[in-house]
Structure 1
Amino acid sequence: MIFRVALAGLSMALAPLAAQAQTASSSPPPAVVVSTVTEQSPAALNKYVGRVIAVSTVDLQVRVTGFLEKRNFTEGAIVKKGDVLYEIEKDTYKANVDKSSATVKGAQATVTDNQKTFERMKFLRDKQDQPQSAVDQAEADLQSSQATLGEAKAQLELDQINLGYTTITSPIDGRISTTNINVGNLVTPESGPLATILSVDPIYVRFYMSEADLVDARQKGLIGEDQAKLDVEITLSNGDVYPKKGKINYVGVAIEQSTDTTEIRATFDNPDGILIPGQFITAKTMDPAAKPELVAPQLAVQLDQKGHFVFIVGDDNKVERKDIQVGAQQAGMWVVKSGLEKGQKVIVQGLQKVQPGIVVKPVEQQS
């Protein structure tokens, strides 16, 4: 009888535990927030502050004296090589060309006449009708007229050059500044630049690399004696990344002792004119041979005595621990060297609810 009472008491004691177990087994799986493991471009090797500079800067100088008659461009606009930008009065210089041209024709006629005389004197000398002295005089007259013709041609060429200087054309493609002298003013070679043209495509970016970074790049073979393998990526002052990468085309020949840096210059295509000479930028050097890296959110990565690990959610929504090797941190992410694969789901929120083997309800993290 006592035994039956004891069994009844035990049954009553176990009943709540069984009910709890039944309730637990029927409760929904806990919700967790997951993020997908992705690849991203390798991190920048180094960052530098830099400036945009023009490949070519040309001051338009006056070569002759005269009144400025025309300006054929819009200030601040793009001009092309060969475009006529300014015109100086031509009348005086054209008259000089005409005069020199006439002088050349007269000198040429004299040379022709003296040549015939010289040939005739030689013929008569051979027939003993003229002395050698007459031949010598005719030859001297011919040589003198030839010298006069040479001088006349040189003067004509000089006058033609000066006439050409009355038309000022653009020597490069680029953007032109405001004009320094307005139409109607007298200009001379001492007047200073009429305007300045800066090339814009391609364009340079200049920054200064520390001695330590330069040594490191040389040791890795990224900067050699005659070429640099590094790519350069720039960020504009508004935070946007410029869509085109640049190539280093110049590495300074010495270290500046006052700053322990050397000049680096990279070339960028600039078809849309986004980069402007004098513009402030942030430059990043990149190894173009580096492969994309796996990254996982820092919120997902945990650390215990075994090392870094994450919890992933498999296809069956079961939680699994993954031990990982991590690299550098960047922008809220860990670079994952090993232990994960692209596309796996790591838990970033709800970690306190999970342990290996349980089933969860994953919710993708909103970007």
Structure 2
Amino acid sequence: MNIKYLGLTTAVSLTLLASCKQKAQQNAAPPATPVAVTEAKKADAVYYDPFQGTVVALNSVELRSQVAGFITGIFFKEGEVVPKGKELYEIDRRKYIAAYEQAKANLESANANLVKAQKDADRYSFLLKQDAVARQTYDQAVAALATNQAQVSVAKAGVLSAKTDLSYSIITAPFTGRIGISQVKLGAQVTPGTTLLNTISTENPIAVDIVVNEQDLPRFYAYQKSSTDSTFRLQLSDGTQYNKPGKIFAIDRGVNNQTGSIKVRVEFPNDKDVLKDGMSGVLSVLNNESGERVQIPYKAVTEQMGEYFVFIATDTVAHQHKVMIGPRIKDQIVILHGLNAGDKIITDGFQRLKDGGKITLGAPQQQTAPGAKQQAK
């Protein structure tokens, strides 16, 4: 009987002892997590903000006729650079020459009538003083003189109008620039102000238009007053870098109240004719935050709900810190706020960490997962 109770007591004691050991193991602190650590350092961080840009000519004009007629002459090679004043198109001039000659003849006739009217007025004025003619006859002569003077003025205006129309029959280059492919051929009929003949535009210098938010305006106004050769960088659509420096040519007069944006035009030299009107590219603008900045490996940053965090190692404890990040520079990232140079940043092993977790320096990338151990067995 005593032996039975002794055996039962021993079994209960062993069970209680095993339970206590299990609870002790559960309540024991988790083991320290092996991590890799690096030091946050200040380094020169020069970075740019990208803006989608469009290449535009500083001066571009659509050529249209101001008189009607048929194209009778084309005096340029399509795609060439034409100097200012060069004749480009001729519109049938015959009727405009005839109109001009008629206007000159009308002026000559009006001048002849004016001479006769002037002599009549002078004669009747003399006779009136001699009381040899009626006052009414003299008044009629003076009125005729005034009428002929007005007719001369009308004839002069007619000559000027006809001469202008005649000059419009020859279309010349308004400035030195590259002319495009002709939109009309010989014999084509043109309508004043409607028919597009061609387009001519300047090439050197040339510009790139970008659209920026109104919050960036002070920055661009500052660059308008003073900028360096490295302030603006242009990348072409094929990925190549344009190696000429740019400067602000103009900032638009006002902000679009619907989009809150404004157009900025940046001028570039184009002596080798690389840039063409209408091309697209990316204009990189030097960021005001460039300079000596704290940088850490990009892989050390984690994102949570749109916010960014890193783990800082303090002795054997890891603390999570919120940071404001800047641009990425190769495998590094700029930290604008939240870290100081010299902080020990955990770069590997933080995936299993919580704020305040214990850490130990090690090689977390060599740690084998529990599941892998079971498979190995």
Report the TM-score range of the alignment, normalised by the length of the smaller protein.
Answer: 0.5 to 0.7
Using the alignment, how far apart are the partners of 2:190 and 2:248 within structure 1? Answer: 42
Q: Distance in 1 between matches of 2:327 and 2:197?
A: 54
- Identity within the alignment, %: 26
Structure 2 equivalent of residue 235 of structure 1: 235
What is the CA–CA distance in structure 1 between the aligned matches of 2:256 and 2:152, rounded to whole Å? 59
The alpha-carbon deviation at position 225 of structure 1 amounts to 10
The aligned runs of 1:51-200 (5 Å cut-off) are 51-189=54-192, 192-200=195-203
2:224–2:248 contact (8 Å) kept in structure 1: no
Distance, in Å, in 1 between the alignment partners of 2:246 and 2:293 is 22
Shift of the alpha carbon at 1:125?
0.9
What is the distance in 2 between the residues matched to 1:66 and 1:48?
46
TM-score (norm 1): 0.63
Deviations 1:39-71 (A, max 9, x none): 989322x21122112333322112223331111
Give the 3 Å change call, closer, same or farther, for CA 40–266 of structure 1 in structure 2. Answer: farther
Aligned to 1:342: none
AA aligned opposite 2:158: Q
Tell me the residue number matched to 2:266.
267
C-alpha displacement at 1:328, in angstroms?
Answer: 6.3
For 2:47, give the aligned amino acid: A
SS, match of residue 63 in structure 1 = coil
- Alpha-carbon separation, structure 1, partners of 2:115 and 2:246: 67
Closer, same or farther: CA 41–79 of 1 in aligned 2, 3 Å: farther
Q: C-alpha distance in 2, partners of 1:191/1:95?
A: 25
Q: Deviations over 1:79-137 (max 9, x none)?
A: 23222110122222112212211221121121112112112211211121122112101
Unaligned segments of structure 1, at least 5 residues: 1-38, 308-326, 340-367
Q: Which residue is 1:249 aligned to?
A: 250
Contact 1:206 1:263 survives alignment (8 Å): no
Aligned counterpart, 1:43: 47
Counterparts of 2:88 and 2:69 in 1: how far apart (Å)?
16
Deviation at 1:166, TM superposition (A): 1.0
SS of 1:148's equivalent in the other structure is: helix
RMSD: 3.9
Alpha-carbon contact 2:252-2:264 (below 8 Å) kept? yes
Matches within 5 A, 1:198-209: 198-209=201-212
Contact 1:232–1:266 under 8 Å retained in 2? no
Which letter does structure 2 place at the counterpart of 1:42?
A: V
Secondary structure of 2:84's match? coil
Match of 2:280 in 1: 280
TM-score by length of 2: 0.61
Whole-Å separation in 2 of the counterparts to 1:206 and 1:110? 62
Cα deviation for residue 293 of structure 1 reads 6.1
Query: C-alpha separation between the residues in 1 aligned to 2:104 and 2:281?
Result: 57
User: Equivalents in 2 of 1:114, 1:57: separation in Å?
Assistant: 53
1:163 Cα deviation after fit: 0.6
Distance across 2 between alignment mates of 1:175 and 1:225? 34
Distance 2:328 2:95 in 1: 74
* Matched length: 274
Matched residue SS, 2:196: coil
Contact persistence 2:208–2:265 (CA under 8 A): yes
Inter-CA distance 296–79: structure 2 relative to 1 (3 Å threshold): farther
State the Cα deviation string for residues 244-291 of structure 1 (Å, max 9, x = none): 21315124723564xx5513322323232221122111111226x998
- Aligned residue in 2 for 1:330: 329
Which residue does 1:6 correspond to in 2? none
Query: Within 2, Cα distance between the matches of 1:175 and 1:83?
Result: 12
Give the residue type in structure 2 aligned to 1:134.
Answer: T
2:232–2:245 Cα contact (<8 Å) kept: no
Give the drift of 1:183.
Answer: 0.9
Residue pair 2:212, 2:264 contacting (<8 A) in 1 also? no
SS at match of 2:219: coil
